[in-house]
Amino acid sequence: MQNMAVETTTPLLASATFTGAAKVQGVINSGMPSSSPFDFFLGCIISDQTGIARIERSLDNVTWTRVTPDVKINTNDVTRVWCRQTSLTYYRVVVVNGATNQTSFLLETGFSSELVALGDSNVVTGPAAQSVLNTDLLTGVVNGWYDCGANRSIALQIVTSAGVSAGTIVFETTNDPAQTGVGVALTPANTTSAGHVTTVSPGASASQMYVGTVGRYFRARISVAFVGGTVQAIPSFSQSAASAPASGVNNIPQSNTFFNDTTTALGISATFTGTARDVGVAAAATHRYSAFNAFAFADQAGTFSIECSNDNTTWRTAATVSLVVNTPVTLSVPVMTRYHRTKLVNGAAAQGAVMVNSSYTAA
């Protein structure tokens, strides 16, 4: 059962905001609220330009707070936002247009007894990047909670800016955020995958995926303030339960990442020191890689090494090998520090050709 209605079809100018009308379910009879047949408040948006949409709610139709992160509006696609509704609470949809004037726009809102034709997943754009202690990355609110509605699982991408040197996120879920001390850290006992991560400490310019089963409410809370940069979350919710990936280390997908370090020939006795590669997590945190590997080829003799570091300042040689003229070599070391890099010291003759590559591998 639904009572959806068109709110507007008037196109928005670039960067303009449309704030929908306040809607409420339930009436007062003899001082008692009546029950509502509807469980959800919905918004349906179609636009020929990109933008964002969110739902806000109010107890008095004066003070409004957001209850969903910003949902990305895709061009000429159906975008839906929704949340569970409570009788005698006001709801509205807010739409912010992108950088180009709209020529067509439709917003339909209302209440429903079920989520109809929403598809299996909903990708949302979280609030601006954060760094402050205890801020929830999905709402941008200190100690806030995101209402997952009818969703049963989340795939959450965590992205950090350059310069991050410290910071930790804890993933928590609950069915009642009003209860004191509530907020269960997601562990193997209440997720579908053994070895599930409960926290991450991503480094600079990192991107990590977290997958888990959620209760009614979920948050990705900054439990250790971020230093030197910021962190942002991009979640995708699903009405299907989370399932274990085919492969992975603690639900962080395994991957192989390679780097082109250099092809610039070195002069006599010159040294090439590669870019520091960052695993992306602090010590004692789960990560996806098991080895750092390096390849080198040169048309002159020299010495080739892998170096490692805990802090990107003090470097130690982890493995080394002599370069033979026109003979490729490879090195590999287990990942036991956060940072790794390659180093090549040329011999007594100038190079005419050189190639250095490196990679992180999961196995």
State phi, psi for 254 to the nearest 5 degrees: -70, 150
Q: Give the mean pLDDT of 212-241.
A: 81
Q: Per-residue pLDDT for 205 more than 80?
A: no
Residue with tokens 């699982």: 153
Amino acid letter, 12: L
Q: Give the mean pLDDT of 247-255.
A: 41
Q: Could you tell me which of 239, 174, 173, 169 has the C-alpha nearest to residue 209?
A: 169
Q: Considering only 1-5, 77-81, 295-299, which range has the smallest mean pLDDT?
A: 1-5
Q: How many CB atoms lie within 10 A of CB 331?
A: 18
Q: Could you tell me which of 211, 191, 290 has the C-alpha nearest to residue 251?
A: 211
Q: Is-same-fold flag (120-253; 257-361)?
A: yes
Amino acid letter, 280: G
Q: Per-residue pLDDT for 296 more than 80?
A: yes
Tell me the domain boundaries of the chain. Answer: 1-118, 120-253, 257-361
| pLDDT tens sequence across 123-149 | 566 677 888 999 988 888 888 888 776
CATH number of this structure's domain 120-253, picked from the four choices 3.30.350, 3.30.450, 2.60.120, 3.40.190? 2.60.120
Architecture label for domain 1-118 = Sandwich (2.60)
Question: In the prediction, which pLDDT does 250 show?
Answer: 37
CATH number of this structure's domain 257-361, picked from the four choices 1.10.530.10, 1.10.150.120, 2.60.120.1110, 1.25.40.10? 2.60.120.1110
**In the chain, what is the greatest distance between 2 CA atoms, to the nearest angstrom?**
97
| pLDDT tens sequence across 331-354 | 999 999 989 999 999 999 999 999
Rg over alpha carbons for the chain, rounded to the nearest Å, is 26
The rounded mean pLDDT for the chain is: 79
Question: In the prediction, which pLDDT does 190 show?
Answer: 35
| pLDDT tens sequence across 303-329 | 999 999 999 999 999 999 999 999 999
